[in-house]
Amino acid sequence: MQKRYFPITIVTAILFLIAVGGYFTPTSSEDPPVRVLLENKGGKVILDHADHVQAMDQDCAACHHTSGKDPNPPACTQCHVKKFDQAFIVGHQEAIDDKHCLSCHHAKATIDNFSHEDHKTEYTDSCQACHHDPSIEPVPQACSNCHMDGSNSVPNLRDAAHGRCTDCHEDLYQEGLKGCTNCHVRDQSPDPAAEPQACTSCHTVQVEQLVPTSMNAFHGQCRGCHEKTGSGPFDDESCKQCHMQ
């Protein structure tokens, strides 16, 4: 009877030893990731881990100070500049070709970092700068409404407003939007770019659509200034363009 179960006992013992041996055998370390997706306020940034490993001569301890597997990579500011001021922005744009933004900035992941609070603080006087419906749409307009696609850099408020306004108004003017004083107050300061006015300085009434019809725009905006002076591009004779005598 014992001889009958002896081979089974031997096989079981061998399998047990193999299993125990495999458990205690050191496993080879996993290959380091090629790229790591980092979160920051300006959008998710792709850290090229392979490039950093090469730059540090494969000295992992230069960035990772623990021997265990730390899921959180060290902060970029451990080696790079900590203050993201105007000087950093300019230097960053000059050092890197704008065509290669996507080598670091993940286009499809950036929207998660949109800060409504920051935009609310920036545009305290006019929610309609982003939300065109007076009831305030739950979803803001596309970022490209102000931050135009194909820009060589992050646009300032002037460039954003110029790009956005001319998108709507260029069909009214063959050569584009004319009349800087429509938005800029005429003054004697050395800086010709005076403070731009809010959209509501021209678009005074909340309507279902921010962009008014040609008739309402002409009567409410153009004639509001020109009917008293009788001069400029919209004088009394301009009525004949729409109204029959």
pLDDT of 116-151, one tens digit each?
A: 777 777 766 666 666 655 555 555 555 555 555 555
Q: Could you tell me if 46 and 104 are in contact, meaning their C-beta atoms sit under 8 angstroms apart? A: yes
Concatenating the DSSP letter of every residue in 222-245 gives: IHHHHHHH--SSS-GGGGGGTS--
Residues 138 and 187 placed together within one structural domain of the fold: yes
Share above pLDDT 90 across residues of the chain, in percent, rounded to a whole number: 0
Higher-confidence position of 234 and 73: 73
Neighbours of 128 (CB within 10 A): 19
CA-CA distance, 231 to 228, in Å (whole number)? 8
Q: Which two tokens mark 72?
A: 């959180």
CA-CA distance, 229 to 227, in Å (whole number)? 6
Which structural domain, as residue segments, surrounds residue 50?
35-113
Integer CA distances (angstroms), 37 to 33, 34, 47, 96, 115, in order:
10, 10, 6, 19, 19
Residues 74 and 156 placed together within one structural domain of the fold: no
Residue 115 in this model has a pLDDT that exceeds 60: yes
Residues 130 and 185 placed together within one structural domain of the fold: yes
Domain termination residue (choose one: 95, 113, 131): 113
Instruction: Identify residue 96 by its one-letter amino acid code.
Output: I
Model pLDDT, residue 28: 47
Q: Could you tell me if 89 and 98 are in contact, meaning their C-beta atoms sit under 8 angstroms apart? A: no
pLDDT of 44-68, one tens digit each?
A: 667 777 778 888 887 777 777 665 6
